[in-house]
Structure 1
Amino acid sequence: MTDVSAPPAPPAVGSASLIELIGSHARDADQRARFPVENMAALRAGGYLGYLVPSEYGGEGGSLNGMVSLAKELAGACMSTALIWAMHCQQVDCLVRHADAALKAEVLPRIASGEIYLASVTTGSSGGSLMSVDETLTDAPDREFLTLGRTAPVVTGGEYADAFLVTMRESGEHSDQGVSLVYAPRTELTIRPFGEWNPMGMRATASRGLRLEGMVRRDRLVGRPGQFREISHDSMIPLAHLAWSACWLGAAQKAFSGLLRQIGSTVPADRSSPLVQERIARIRVDLELVNAYLRRTCDEIELLRERGHSLNRPDLHIHVNTLKLAASELTFRAVDRMVQLAGLSVGYSADSPLSLERVFRDLRSAALNYSNDRLWTATGVLSLIDRSVHLL
């Protein structure tokens, strides 16, 4: 194993200095739809990019529950920053669990030191599922390299990434097996951004489309050729839904805390009113339900991994899908109710110190990010298979 110097110890979850710094750039990054470079620099310097990297590679060796807690804290300050970090963690988990020993030894220490921020290029050129990839991975003439050409309409933070995990359709002997995952360093690619990024919310994720072209070494395949489906079930999908849900919940929870502190002062609502009390209760119950299901799903995944069990089972797919569906819909509903309770001047104003308007816009993306329409249908199909109804 390559010797590496240990990165600076990350501040504890909830570090006031980190959260304050990230929050201080949130409004400007949102207004200008720009990548939060200051926040990424702080995450690099603090060792946060290596949170899920095992300690033997110089990382923190953090748990999934720890990742969820930190994502919530970050999202309370800036949801875009939290999502960027959480999706990086998703890519790291894929490498930790599925890259071969040589690739892990090459890449993981550099992630732990803050040198590499990973972005995901897994969306098909026309959207759709993780497996809907049209571009084919081909052999270079010397067969030591693979030729990569990939177009993705949305790549979170892609223009600022140091490396990418890219899905490509296999060719040749593996063409009937489907999709492969490739680790592609930025230095070995030609990158052409396209399109504009001026969305309603999640503006600071800077998720423009990218065209990637280049040649990567054959030993940078992650997992078996054509078997990205295994990685998606074991890591990519579970980590995405845990991470996204944590970000959505953290943003809504922080907004609710701010609202409660302002009721009776900035927020013109009567604490003694039964109507106000009922509205507050409904918001709290939505957040409690999401938090409980998030933690329970995270515990289930960690336990299955500890025991060496497969995550590719109908009941777990249902639980992971349910988490995403519930978190995306209930956190948005909660913030919608906060806006209603706070009123036009405080809840709806973009200049309000509560920032409910920004959280509302950000959370509206939750049901669209890997569309809930697709997940409802998939969960219905899985429910027909799981006739014993294994509830979480």
Structure 2
Amino acid sequence: MTTSSAVPALDKVVETLRANADRADRDAVLPEENLAVLRDSGLLGLIVPTGAGGPGGSMSDLVAVARTLAGACLSTALVWAMHISQTDALLRHACRDLQTELLPRLTSGHLYLASVTTETGRGSDLFTAGTPLTADDGLLRFTGRRAPVVSGGRHADGFLITLRSAPDAASGSVSLVYADRADLRLSAIGEWDPLGMRGTESGGLLLSGAVPARNVVGVPGEFGTVARESMVPTAHIGWAACWLGAAHAGFATVLRDLRGAGTPPGEAVRERLARIRVDLDLASSYLNRVVDFAEDARRRGLSLATPLAQVRLNSLKLAVSEATARTAEALLRVTGMAGYASRSEVARLHRDLSSAPLNHSNDRMWPATGALALLDPTVRLL
């Protein structure tokens, strides 16, 4: 897997994110400086095609950038990766008029997108919605949409929101709607004070507003197609790249410190290092193979909503989230009480990566992936 010239020089971005990483974690905020340097770098429009004025970045580019950013600040990298998954949905499923309006704002860095797919009262089921859309004089209105988690939502310029397609529609008839910040009444709900990933600033929001009918992204009521073809592939690939980038950087730092300690590590530590290295190599290899598979499918016009594709994408999320969480735990044991200090980078990495299996819970994803595996009896392995 190689990156293209679409990826800008990242030195300034990485420097800013690394300088703010401790403050982001301590204060549970997405630093304004981090978002500003992402805007200025052009990274918000990374995957916008060249024909639309963007750099035309690929999934491979997404992975390369996410891994690099996450080595400096995992929280900011994850917020950026989620923005890219929203961008992909707009590129593949929004109508031409909406794209014409939004793509220049993405390439100029003036449109940071937040995802509103969580909803109070329905658990983590991505494919149902409670709050309905109501058609009124050419507009689609919604009131009281409660989202308990919206990564970086306080800073967003626009939102992609899941809503029930009509007041009389079934809960599984879900539409994805783009809403500009100016179209919304927003208020914060709940408190954002988690153990890790604090710098994503993923506090809850209460949203009400009205948007033109053209702002439905994809076919009304068929959000599942948008999710499976676009948001899930790019989210799982982006998340995995972020987790791996952070774990990789943490491992490299610990190795450097061990080499500089003057005393060779004992056998138990060497075994932990070997197990970490195996986990990271396997995770990196599988990530690259899934990216190759997804890019090839898109080049050939094939669906990523098939059971085979969904098994591979789910397996990526499951494997990398658990491998990197193991890595963080092992690094904590390698560094001992020095790493256990509340403000150490290893402790932050441990707290952050402990959330990876909880982000779209693996406890729900394992049985769902098993059900998908039953639909692929030939067991077509990568």
Residues 1:176 and 1:333: Cα distance change in structure 2 (over 3 Å): closer
Q: In structure 1, what is the Cα distance between the partners aligned to 2:285 and 2:58?
A: 18
Q: Percent identity of the aligned residues?
A: 47
Among 324, 329, 333, which residue is 1:336 paired with? 329
Shift of 1:275: 2.9
**For 1:148-172, what per-residue CA distance to the aligned partner results, in whole angstroms no more than 9, with x for missing partners?**
2311110001111000000111126
Q: Check whether the contact 1:91–1:165 (CA below 8 A) recurs between aligned residues.
A: yes
Shift of 1:348: 1.1
Q: Residue 55 in 1 paired to residue 56 in 2?
A: no
Shift of 1:371: 0.3
Among 16, 20, 24, which residue is 1:29 paired with? 24
Q: Check whether the contact 2:71–2:248 (CA below 8 A) recurs between aligned residues.
A: yes
Q: In structure 2, what is the Cα distance between the partners aligned to 1:47 and 1:329?
A: 32
Q: Residue 170 in 1 paired to residue 169 in 2?
A: no
TM-score (normalised: structure 1): 0.93
Shift of 1:43: 0.5
DSSP 3-state at the match of 1:77: coil
Q: Residue 305 in 1 paired to residue 298 in 2?
A: yes
Corresponding position of 1:294: 287
Q: In structure 1, what is the Cα distance between the partners aligned to 2:235 and 2:112?
A: 17
Q: Residue 84 in 1 paired to residue 79 in 2?
A: yes
Corresponding position of 1:11: 8
**For 1:346-369, what per-residue CA distance to the aligned partner results, in whole angstroms no more than 9, with x for missing partners?**
x211344xx101011000110111
Q: Residue 188 in 1 paired to residue 183 in 2?
A: yes
Q: In structure 2, what is the Cα distance between the partners aligned to 1:384 and 1:269?
A: 52
TM-score (normalised: structure 2): 0.95
| Coordinate RMSD, CA, aligned | 1.6
DSSP 3-state at the match of 1:343: helix
Corresponding position of 2:97: 102
Q: In structure 2, what is the Cα distance between the partners aligned to 1:66 and 1:264?
A: 32
Among 8, 15, 29, which residue is 1:20 paired with? 15
Give structure 1 regions of 4+ aligned residues with deviation exceeding 6 angstroms: none
Aligned length: 375
53-62 or 93-102: which moved more?
Answer: 53-62
Q: In structure 2, what is the Cα distance between the partners aligned to 1:208 and 1:248?
A: 21
Shift of 1:17: 2.5
| Paired residue type of 1:164 | F
> Mind listing any 5+ residue stretches in structure 1 that lack a counterpart?
1-8
Corresponding position of 1:391: 381
Corresponding position of 2:60: 65
Q: In structure 2, what is the Cα distance between the partners aligned to 1:106 and 1:264?
A: 53
Shift of 1:57: 2.1
| Paired residue type of 2:41 | G
| Paired residue type of 1:68 | V
Corresponding position of 2:140: 146
| Paired residue type of 1:350 | S
Corresponding position of 1:278: 271
Corresponding position of 1:3: none
| Paired residue type of 2:158 | A
Q: In structure 2, what is the Cα distance between the partners aligned to 1:358 and 1:265?
A: 22
DSSP 3-state at the match of 1:34: coil
**For 1:78-119, what per-residue CA distance to the aligned partner results, in whole angstroms no more than 9, with x for missing partners?**
001100100000000000000111111111111110111000
DSSP 3-state at the match of 2:374: helix
| Paired residue type of 1:61 | G
Among 368, 372, 380, which residue is 2:362 paired with? 372
